Amino acid sequence: MKRNDRILLGHGAGGRLSHELVTGTILPAFDNPYLATLSDSAVLDALPPGRPALTTDGFVVDPPVFPGGDLGYLSVCGTVNDLSVAGAKPLWLTLALILEEGLERELLDTFVQGAARAAREAGVLLVAGDTKVVPRGKGDRAYAVTTGLGVVPPGREVSDRKLRPGDVVIASGTLGDHGATILASRHDLSAADLGSDCAPLASLVATLFAAGIDVHSMHDPTRGGVATTCYESAVRSGVRMVLEEELLPVRGDVRAVCDLLGLEPLYLASEGRALVWVAPEDEARALAALRSHPLGRGATRIGTVLERTDGRSPLLLRTTLGIERPLDMLSGLDLPRIC
Amino acid sequence: MSELQPAVAPRAVKALVQRIERDAARLERGVAFMEVCGTHTHAIARAGIRRMLPPNVRLISGPGCPVCVTPIDYMDRAVALARRADTIVATFGDLVRVPSSSSSLERESAAGHDVRIVYSPRDTLRIARENPDKHVVFLAVGFETTLPGIAAMLEEAELAQLANVRILAGAKLIEPPLRALIADGEIAVDGFLLPGHVSVILGADFYAFLEQELAVPGVIAGFAPADILLGVSRLVELALEGSARVENLYPRAVSQRGNPVARELLARWFEPEDSRWRGLGEIPLSGLRLRERFAHRDANRLEMQLDPTREPRGCRCGDMLKGKIEPHQCPLFDRACTPLNPVGACMVSGEGTCAAWYRHERLEVAR
Amino acid sequence: MCLAIPMKLVERREFVGTAEIEGVQREIGLALCPEAEIGGFVLVHAGFAIGCIDEEAARETLAALAQIAEEGLS
């Protein structure tokens, strides 16, 4: 065993070991002038015109490295995507890592490289960070917390308030790939072609706005999946939505993972997909714009916004048999079941 | 390949619904068919099949979900085992939220006890190898479909000399409750939609007693909407004929004689015992316990500090499991009892009648 | 009462095998289904093959349903 192959408590103590970790592992990955000063705060430039958007997110994932991503990559994508679907251009990010004593240095390197790669892809700068180490057994290898600051350009509004009956719901690609990938890893299922969809959506969303599309609302269907995201959005905006089972883009292997574990793809997380609501007359242009981008090749309409009907479910699924059934939010954990 | 092609399915479903409507119009009185398989219950709710049927053809849900019929004192024992410092409880995900008298496995896990959710009983062996100093107890609930796999897992444990593997037997058999429901006479069942995957083990011949002794027809059906409607259509035809035949409409999976290898393994490890069912009470010889010579695999032999058993108040799971009421007729449904906060087991299990209704039909039925 | 799905057996080593559906593979127990053959379909429940799929019967059911569909629309 090499001498420096594991994280020690001392790496979080703020002394020489901490300094070695920051300058040896972290700084080289995120080379930028704001971070390089290692000051108490990153002092940034004036924001471009528009309204600032700020978001934060914590990340725990088991396994921490999975086909298509890792904890670090995911933690940057998640925050970038929360800004992007709010219509903001993501600019600056912070990253805090909570590491468990004994974590393999190699894993940490993977997380740091993953976060750096996601930041590059998203065109954001990671300008501040922190690392803490907790005693062995007091954490699960590593947790990541990212905070992101962006700007919504003047005149742009993306909000559930803008949803109108008749609007169409577009998914930017196949649904549930990330959730199915994680579940497959946890339950010893192997699927050669299956990987997480995890990706930063900043440039895909920019393409949509560059095409002049009036995006009414936008969300990323992460935890709880498409069903939960649409349900919440319908409730917030006081409308009803219907999803068409026939149109839902779900990969065969994702469906198979669900069938094996007794779960529904509509409740699985995606980490690199956007749901986009536009007026019906904008559907074709929105689809064309999305499909022109590598992350939006699989974009397709999945449903429609309807008038609210009191006392009935805010979200419906129209099945391939033509029956409409209500879809609920995910309750608790979606546990694999045998019966 | 065995699944029905999506292209055919919607047209077949439409044609079957028309066929059922046509035949049902000739029925002199309304009929009620009972499904006794939770996966059927779930599939029926998910596809909205009740709403496709004419009003004089009713589908009622029987005691087909192993989680739903598991009595609360079983969960008390599972919780007591989880609380032992030297014990790991391995379970299907279905059981972790089922309330015990004072807790649930989910809560025990949160309190720091070791509860592992597994996909297969075989996963128990891996956990046992990784934790040689702990007892690893698998919660053996299920019907004849699930139990042979648990017996096979125990067989592997014997061969591999994994002394720390045990099970908590809570297994149920399908025949006794069918007999009890008919003998009870409280509800009129005009036919059974028989459980497709239990029948893979038991075989179609097993159900001869329905025709010969109980004079109730039955069809063994698969799980795609078209499979289920084909079964219902055939049950309507049998009702018109006044026939009590049992037919196998799922021959791609179910043979006449079933799976004798699985049944032998089951008989080697288990023997019938009188067993309590939630809602139905005690039914003679309706459960399975480990044979005496396998006592070293029985988790009941481990010391347990049991909480006093307390049945939930106002819960009508029992009437539901007998097909007497529908979920929305229970005073707790969608009020005190929801999937997030289940009172009765029928709400906990994904295939429980109440959970299936809550998820798929709650807001579409009048209360 | 039990979820089970048909999977193709792609590999077997005595009482353990690998089954596949849509590119997703899982190790399964074959103790209950010793007659299962590589290339054939087995019904998998909770990590065990509990029976073999009769492909001929599957085709017949499909054909019967296709016929019902035809008649229904005529």
The answer on B348 and B260 residing in a single domain is no
The answer on B64 and B88 residing in a single domain is yes
User: How far apart are alpha carbons B6 and C74 in whole angstroms?
Assistant: 20
- Residue where the block lists tokens 């976060």: A115
Name the stretches of chain A with pLDDT < 50. Answer: 1
List chain C residues with CB under 8 Å of A189.
Answer: 24-26
In 3D space, the residue among B250, B150, B273, B233 whose CA is nearest the CA of residue B194 turns out to be B250
Q: How confident is the model at residue B307 (pLDDT cuts 50, 70, 90)?
A: confident
CB-based contacts of B66: which residues, under 8 Å, 6+ apart? A339, B38, B94, B141, B142, B143, B146, B170, B172, C1
Residue B29 sits at the chain A interface (C-beta within 8 Å): no
The 10s digit of each residue's pLDDT in B230-275 is 999 999 999 999 999 999 999 999 999 999 999 999 999 999 999 9
Q: How confident is the model at residue B365 (pLDDT cuts 50, 70, 90)?
A: very low
CATH fold group of domain A160-326: Phosphoribosyl-aminoimidazole Synthetase; Chain A, domain 2 (3.90.650)
CB-based contacts of A277: which residues, under 8 Å, 6+ apart? A162, A163, A167, A168, A169, A170, A215, A216, A217, A218, A233, A305
Q: Does residue B71 sit in helix, strand or coil?
A: coil
- In chain C, whose CA is at the least distance from the CA of B203? C51
User: How far apart are alpha carbons B187 and B184 in whole angstroms?
Assistant: 8
In 3D space, the residue among B50, B310, B95, B354 whose CA is nearest the CA of residue B193 turns out to be B50
Beta strands in B202-253 (DSSP E): 218-220, 246-248
pLDDT at B323 > cutoff 90: no
Our count of domains for chain B comes to 2
Residue C5 sits at the chain A interface (C-beta within 8 Å): yes
Residue C23 sits at the chain A interface (C-beta within 8 Å): yes
- In chain C, whose CA is at the least distance from the CA of A192? C23
pLDDT at B321 > cutoff 50: yes
In 3D space, the residue among A282, A322, A328 whose CA is nearest the CA of residue A301 turns out to be A282
For A27-30, the CB contacts below 8 A with 24+ separation are: A29/A112, A29/A113, A29/A115, A29/A116, A30/A115, A30/A116, A30/A119, A30/A125, A30/A126, A30/A129
| DSSP-derived secondary structure for A131-148 | EEEE-TTSSSSEEEEEEE
CB-based contacts of A19: which residues, under 8 Å, 6+ apart? none
Name the stretches of chain C with pLDDT < 50. Answer: 1
Answer with the residue of higher pLDDT: A338 or B25: B25
Task: Name residue A255's amino acid.
Answer: R
The answer on B322 and B306 residing in a single domain is no
pTM for the predicted model, two decimal places = 0.91
pLDDT (0 to 100) of residue A101: 95
The 10s digit of each residue's pLDDT in B156-215 is 999 999 999 999 999 999 999 999 989 888 778 999 999 999 999 999 999 999 999 999
- Specify which residues C27 forms β-bridges with: C18
The answer on B207 and B183 residing in a single domain is yes
Please give the interface size between B and C, counted as residue pairs whose CB atoms are below 8 Å apart: 155
pLDDT (0 to 100) of residue A249: 98
Cβ pair B308, B49 in contact under 8 A: no
Answer whether B148 sits within 8 Å of C48, measured CB to CB.
yes
Task: Name residue A6's amino acid.
Answer: R
Answer whether B5 sits within 8 Å of C2, measured CB to CB.
no
Residue B78 half-sphere exposure, CB side, CA atoms within 13 Å? 36
List chain A residues with CB under 8 Å of B350.
Answer: 262, 335, 337, 339
pLDDT (0 to 100) of residue B259: 98
Beta strands in B127-269 (DSSP E): 135-142, 165-172, 191-194, 218-220, 246-248
* Closest CA–CA distance from residue C46 to any residue of chain B (Å): 5
CATH code of the domain covering residue B197? 3.40.50.11750
- Residue where the block lists tokens 């609920």: A328
List chain C residues with CB under 8 Å of B12.
Answer: 65-66, 68-69, 72
Q: How confident is the model at residue B363 (pLDDT cuts 50, 70, 90)?
A: low
Answer whether C45 sits within 8 Å of A257, measured CB to CB.
no
The answer on B324 and B228 residing in a single domain is no
Please give the interface size between A and C, counted as residue pairs whose CB atoms are below 8 Å apart: 46
Domain assignment present for residue B286? The answer is yes
**Radius of gyration in angstroms for the set of CA atoms belonging to chain C, rounded to a whole number:** 15
User: How far apart are alpha carbons A320 and A301 in whole angstroms?
Assistant: 15
pLDDT at B367 > cutoff 50: no
- In chain C, whose CA is at the least distance from the CA of B68? C1
Task: Name residue B189's amino acid.
Answer: V
* Closest CA–CA distance from residue B305 to any residue of chain C (Å): 30
User: How far apart are alpha carbons A232 and A238 in whole angstroms?
Assistant: 10
In 3D space, the residue among B225, B192, B229 whose CA is nearest the CA of residue B37 turns out to be B192
Domain assignment present for residue B3? The answer is no
| Token pair in block for residue A250 | 């779900």
The answer on B227 and B344 residing in a single domain is no
The answer on B324 and B251 residing in a single domain is no
Residue B160 sits at the chain C interface (C-beta within 8 Å): no
In 3D space, the residue among B51, B57, B59 whose CA is nearest the CA of residue B23 turns out to be B57
List subunits contacting chain C, requiring 3 or more Cβ pairs under 8 Å. Answer: A, B
pLDDT (0 to 100) of residue C1: 45
pLDDT (0 to 100) of residue B165: 98
pLDDT at B303 > cutoff 50: yes
- In chain A, whose CA is at the least distance from the CA of C26? A189
The answer on B67 and B96 residing in a single domain is yes
pLDDT (0 to 100) of residue A334: 67
Answer whether C1 sits within 8 Å of B5, measured CB to CB.
no
- Using CB atoms within 10 A of its CB, is residue A84 exposed (0-12), middle (13-18) or buried (19+)? buried
List chain A residues with CB under 8 Å of B67.
Answer: 339
In 3D space, the residue among A111, A117, A92 whose CA is nearest the CA of residue A33 turns out to be A92
pLDDT (0 to 100) of residue B3: 53
Q: What ipTM was reported for this prediction?
A: 0.95
Residue B168 half-sphere exposure, CB side, CA atoms within 13 Å? 27
Domain with B211 in it: 10-315
List subunits contacting chain B, requiring 3 or more Cβ pairs under 8 Å. Answer: A, C
The 10s digit of each residue's pLDDT in A270-307 is 999 999 999 999 999 999 999 999 999 999 999 999 99
pLDDT (0 to 100) of residue B248: 97
Q: What is the residue extent of each domain of chain A?
A: 9-152, 160-326
The 10s digit of each residue's pLDDT in B331-362 is 898 888 887 778 877 887 666 788 878 877 66
Which domains does chain C possess?
A: 5-73 (2.30.30.140)
pLDDT (0 to 100) of residue B225: 92
pLDDT (0 to 100) of residue A170: 98
Compute the mean pLDDT over every residue in chain B, rounded to the nearest whole number: 91
End-to-end CA distance of chain A: 46
Residue B262 half-sphere exposure, CB side, CA atoms within 13 Å? 29
Domain assignment present for residue B4? The answer is no
The 10s digit of each residue's pLDDT in B83-104 is 999 999 999 988 998 889 999 9
Give the number of other Cβ atoms within 10 Å of residue A188's Cβ.
16
User: How far apart are alpha carbons A279 and B202 in whole angstroms?
Assistant: 56
User: How far apart are alpha carbons B18 and B233 in whole angstroms?
Assistant: 10
Domain A9-152 has CATH 3.30.1330.10: yes
Residue C10 sits at the chain B interface (C-beta within 8 Å): no
User: How far apart are alpha carbons B12 and B25 in whole angstroms?
Assistant: 20
- Residue where the block lists tokens 């009185």: B29
The answer on B306 and B236 residing in a single domain is yes
- Using CB atoms within 10 A of its CB, is residue A3 exposed (0-12), middle (13-18) or buried (19+)? exposed
| H or E element that contains B147 | helix B147-159
Answer whether B10 sits within 8 Å of A320, measured CB to CB.
yes
Residue B13 sits at the chain A interface (C-beta within 8 Å): yes
